Structure 1
Amino acid sequence: MEDILKVAAVAIVAAICAVVVKKNVQELGMVLALAAGVLILTFALGAIGSVRDVLDTLAETAGLEPAVLAPVIKTVGIAIITRVTAEVCRDAKESGIAAFVETAGAAAALFVALPLVQAVLNTVTGLL
């Protein structure tokens, strides 16, 4: 709970500062927004680590191999990075680049998920 309060406080202060700074120096406003984003993601890393530990425990309990769970975690990571990067590009008024980032993110997620698709196919084939 307190982590999200820190995130909210940093986000609100950074947004207000960025709006004020962008009126005079737009590039500096972008740098401020990126710095705030890095700080906010740093707060989120603790939660992400905890989620990863719980998922590993659940996978071990269910008897899943790490090769099955790893693509899911990587795909979520790719989705988060893609979303943040695309929004930063849009904030910089570069929506074309944002579209390319989203396309590349989708391709990367699909590539990372291929071992999971192969594992499901092998399981289904083994049942037949």
Structure 2
Amino acid sequence: MEIIKITLFAFTALFIILIFKGRRDDIAVLISLFSGVILIMFILPKIAMILNFIKLLANKANIDFGYLNIIFKILGIAYLGTFSAAICKDAGESMLASKVEIVTKILILAMSVPILMAVLNSILKII
């Protein structure tokens, strides 16, 4: 039932955006931005539920919570980077969008270094 609400909201926002596109592109981009934020806010309780479930599984499996925090941060960076790049593309700034995507990928790589080091240390201990 929630997907119906999400779809109806998205199509309503799309219809309003199409009305403004071409005449007032600045308003169309703002409507797109606010629509995306509202959609994200709509699913925040679901995201919290998923994170709590993953934390519960990590506790049962004795997984170091520090690594789990890094993974959550990486996911957040990926989603925010994708969202930002999409907004830039909607505004007609595809070059800026590609730069946002590149910076996002570099940030993800930098954030993943501790996990990569832990995996390499585990491999070296096995050998």
Tell me whether the two structures share a fold, i.e. TM-score over 0.5.
Answer: yes
* Structure 2 portions without partners, runs of 5+: none
Cα drift, residue 24 of structure 1: 2.4
Q: C-alpha offsets along residues 18-40 of structure 1, whole Å, 9 cap, x if unaligned?
A: 10122421111111111111100
Cα drift, residue 44 of structure 1: 1.7
Provide the TM-score with structure 2 as the length reference.
0.93
Equivalence for 1:52: 51
Cα drift, residue 126 of structure 1: 2.4
Equivalence for 1:12: 11
Size of the alignment, in residue pairs? 127
Cα drift, residue 103 of structure 1: 0.4
In structure 2, how many angstroms separate the alpha carbons of the residues matched to 1:44 and 1:84?
Answer: 15
Moved over 4 A (4+): none
In structure 1, how many angstroms separate the alpha carbons of the residues matched to 2:76 and 2:85?
Answer: 14
Cα drift, residue 125 of structure 1: 2.3
Asked if residue 29 in structure 1 is aligned to residue 28 in structure 2, the reply is yes
* Structure 1 portions without partners, runs of 5+: none
In structure 1, how many angstroms separate the alpha carbons of the residues matched to 2:125 and 2:50?
Answer: 31
Equivalence for 1:89: 88
Residue 50 of structure 2 aligns to a residue in which SS? helix
Asked if residue 80 in structure 1 is aligned to residue 79 in structure 2, the reply is yes
Asked if residue 121 in structure 1 is aligned to residue 120 in structure 2, the reply is yes
**8 Å Cα contact 2:13/2:31 also seen in 1:** yes
Residue 93 of structure 1 aligns to a residue in which SS? coil
**8 Å Cα contact 2:25/2:91 also seen in 1:** no
Cα drift, residue 16 of structure 1: 0.4
Asked if residue 63 in structure 1 is aligned to residue 62 in structure 2, the reply is yes
Provide the TM-score with structure 1 as the length reference.
0.92
Asked if residue 101 in structure 1 is aligned to residue 94 in structure 2, the reply is no
Residue 23 of structure 2 aligns to a residue in which SS? coil
Aligned residue type for 1:85? S
Aligned residue type for 1:112? M
Deviates more, 1:117-126 or 1:101-110: 117-126
Q: CA RMSD in A?
A: 1.3
In structure 2, how many angstroms separate the alpha carbons of the residues matched to 1:39 and 1:29?
Answer: 15
